[in-house]
Amino acid sequence: MPETKKEEERSSKIDFNKEKYEGAKRMIQAAMRNLERVSNYVEKMEQEERKDFYMGIPGVEGTFDGEALVTENGKKKVVPPNYAAKSRLVFGDKLKLFKDGDRDVYKQIDRPERKKIEGILTKKEGKWYLLSDSGSYKISDVSAQFNDAQLNDEAEAFIPADNLKSPFAALDRIKKSKEKKESGETKDIEIKKPTIKKKPIKKTTLKRPLTKKKDDKDPEEKPKEFVADILDEDDLR
């Protein structure tokens, strides 16, 4: 078979494989888009069901201002910071407070559309802030501590899409650079074995034990002193 014909067959196979690859890639991308649409639809359905369920439970409703649930009358109920950080509550989220036995329970019943922003973490008067192109936003100290935040760390957060001037942002994650990760690694420490000096062995002469004479009397034993119980006032048992 001529070389030119072999080369033509080889190139046609390459083109065919490339076409198959591109076709499979387009199918995967289309499937991913459809999956995302279905996921968003299911999420909205779950939100509506959750909203209807909690709307029927007696309790106090209000909006989240970054730290507390604020009712229509202006009364504030402080939201547990760990719940707000874990749920990534955003300024303007609608919450409901109700009783479950003896404890207070907060639930998110509605929320505005989110917008993800990126920025740099900084501190002002001991409080954590995120500086971004959209503005400066206060973030939860609990969330910053949980994510091991450091000054000038790059981070991502959520704000309400319809209120870019909100004072608070929900911290999503911190992007740690490779340099910071490497700087945190521990270095191997070389441990040197101690050198033991041998002491000269001294020769000892054995002595005969002294025999006690009958007239010798044993020394009188002194009575033992009473030791107070030291655990009386500071008992650690």
CB contact at 8 A, 121 and 150: yes
CB contact at 8 A, 121 and 149: yes
pLDDT computed for residue 236 by the predictor: 32
Over residues 136-171, the pLDDT tens digits come to 999 999 999 999 999 999 999 999 999 999 999 999
Domain that holds residue 172: 114-177
Q: Which ranges in 56-153 belong to alpha helices (H)?
A: 81-87, 141-146
CB contact at 8 A, 158 and 114: yes
119: nearest Cα among 169, 162, 165, 82: 169
pTM of this structure: 0.54
Does residue 106 lie within any of the structural domains?
Answer: no
Over residues 109-135, the pLDDT tens digits come to 888 899 999 999 999 999 999 999 989
Largest CA distance in the chain: 129
pLDDT computed for residue 99 by the predictor: 85
Give the chain's domain count: 2
Does residue 36 lie within any of the structural domains?
Answer: yes
Q: What is the CATH number of the domain that holds 124?
A: 2.40.50.140
Q: The sheet that has 135-138: what strands, in order across it?
A: 135-138, 127-132, 114-124, 154-160, 170-175
Does residue 212 lie within any of the structural domains?
Answer: no
Q: Which ranges in 56-172 belong to alpha helices (H)?
A: 81-87, 141-146
* Spatial separation of the C-alpha atoms in residues 186 and 152, rounded to whole Å: 23
* Spatial separation of the C-alpha atoms in residues 151 and 123, rounded to whole Å: 7
124: nearest Cα among 78, 80, 70, 167: 167
Does residue 41 lie within any of the structural domains?
Answer: yes
Does residue 208 lie within any of the structural domains?
Answer: no
From residue 144, how far is each of 56, 60, 202, 211, 228 by CA, in Å?
A: 35, 29, 67, 81, 51
Residues in the chain predicted with pLDDT less than 70, given as ranges, are 1-16, 40-41, 43-56, 177-237
* Spatial separation of the C-alpha atoms in residues 82 and 97, rounded to whole Å: 16
Does residue 168 lie within any of the structural domains?
Answer: yes
pLDDT computed for residue 101 by the predictor: 82
117: nearest Cα among 162, 49, 171, 69: 171
Does residue 43 lie within any of the structural domains?
Answer: yes
Does residue 136 lie within any of the structural domains?
Answer: yes
